[in-house]
């Protein structure tokens, strides 16, 4: 084979341009891509919270704790675990150690024995011991009332820090977990790409009178009604306000 022929063979054929899918008008595709769900208007958002409050005036979280420190540990342990599972593990743990000093005395191996039923228990045990040491050495064994400081503790992110200051100190932060992220984007209260963006939006949007309990109302709504795989829209108290396009019926 001549050099010219070989060179010609190596030149790849240009790929054919993607053909429009049969039966789908391209104008409609472009329109649907541009169409993002619009957040609820102010009056509808207020009505959502009014109804959630009416149904549950004093919402409570489902993690067991006895003081700000055990709350911090319980929330840190709850990553990738159910509240029921965490409560089972912490029942014995908090009886043995409910202060950072007692946790250090219990030690990493002792702590590991209590929480070995939880996902990532090795990492969690290491973090709880490290954060307990910092609380003792830098904060006199007290949990600081500051999201910014709590975020610097090992294994504590924005969500954990916000839950702790909300519940323990009454700071109206709206910690966003997977349930709240889903509910906020379905209604939608705020159309965002990340939980941190959702938190920033909700803390700006939600009026003072609803902000302290907004975290619990939304998390409980997401956990028991607006479920991930199949929301139970037919019994949802805010069904008529919600803009989710795939509402379910019984």
- Residue numbers at the binding site for ligand SF4 (CB under 6 A): 186-187, 225-226, 231-233, 236, 238-239, 242, 244, 247
Q: Which of 93, 44, 51 is nearest to 70 (CA)?
A: 93
Catalytic pick among 171, 177, 197, 247: 177
Quick check: is 15 catalytic? no
State which residue, 206 or 242, has the beta carbon closest to ligand SF4: 242
Burial class (CB in 10 A: 0-12, 13-18, 19+), 190: buried
State which residue, 186 or 211, has the beta carbon closest to ligand SF4: 186
State which residue, 113 or 239, has the beta carbon closest to ligand SF4: 239
State which residue, 87 or 185, has the beta carbon closest to ligand SF4: 185
Measured CA distances, 124 to 17, 77, 166, 197 (Å): 51, 6, 22, 26
Catalytic pick among 159, 197, 240, 246: 159
Report the helix count and the strand count for the chain, using DSSP H and E.
Answer: 12, 0
Decide: 133 and 102 in contact? Cβ < 8 Å. Answer: no
- Smallest gap from Cβ 250 to ligand SF4, in A, equals 12
- Smallest gap from Cβ 227 to ligand SF4, in A, equals 8
Decide: 59 and 213 in contact? Cβ < 8 Å. Answer: yes
Quick check: is 41 catalytic? no
State which residue, 55 or 96, has the beta carbon closest to ligand SF4: 55
- Smallest gap from Cβ 177 to ligand SF4, in A, equals 16
- Smallest gap from Cβ 36 to ligand SF4, in A, equals 17
Q: 31-47: string of b/e by CB count within 10 Å (b at 16+)?
A: eeeeeeeebbeeebbee
Measured CA distances, 204 to 33, 51, 184 (Å): 28, 20, 13
Rg (CA), the chain: 25
- Smallest gap from Cβ 247 to ligand SF4, in A, equals 5
Catalytic residues: 159, 177
């Amino acid at each position: 084979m001549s050099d010219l022929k070989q060179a010609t063979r190596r030149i790849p054929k240009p790929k054919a341009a993607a053909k429009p899918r049969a039966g789908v008008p391209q104008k409609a595709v472009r329109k649907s891509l541009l169409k993002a769900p619009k957040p609820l208007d102010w009056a509808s958002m207020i009505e959502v919270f009014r109804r959630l409050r009416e149904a549950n005036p004093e919402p409570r979280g489902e993690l067991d704790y006895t003081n700000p420190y055990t709350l911090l540990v319980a929330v840190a342990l709850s990553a990738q675990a159910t509240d029921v599972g965490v409560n089972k593990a912490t029942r014995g743990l908090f009886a043995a150690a409910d202060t950072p000093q007692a946790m250090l005395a219990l030690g990493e191996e002792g702590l590991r024995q209590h929480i070995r039923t939880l996902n990532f228990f090795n990492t969690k045990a290491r973090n709880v011991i490290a954060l307990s040491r910092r609380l003792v050495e830098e904060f006199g064994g007290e949990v600081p009332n500051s999201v910014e400081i709590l975020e610097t503790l090992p294994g504590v992110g924005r969500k954990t820090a916000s839950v702790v200051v909300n519940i323990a100190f009454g700071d109206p932060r709206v910690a966003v977990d997977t349930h709240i992220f889903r509910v906020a984007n379905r209604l939608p209260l705020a159309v965002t790409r990340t939980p941190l963006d959702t938190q920033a939006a909700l803390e700006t949007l939600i009026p003072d009178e609803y902000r302290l309990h907004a975290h619990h109302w939304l998390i409980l709504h997401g956990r028991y009604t607006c479920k991930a795989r199949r929301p139970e829209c037919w019994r949802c108290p805010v069904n008529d306000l919600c803009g989710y396009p795939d509402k379910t019926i019984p």
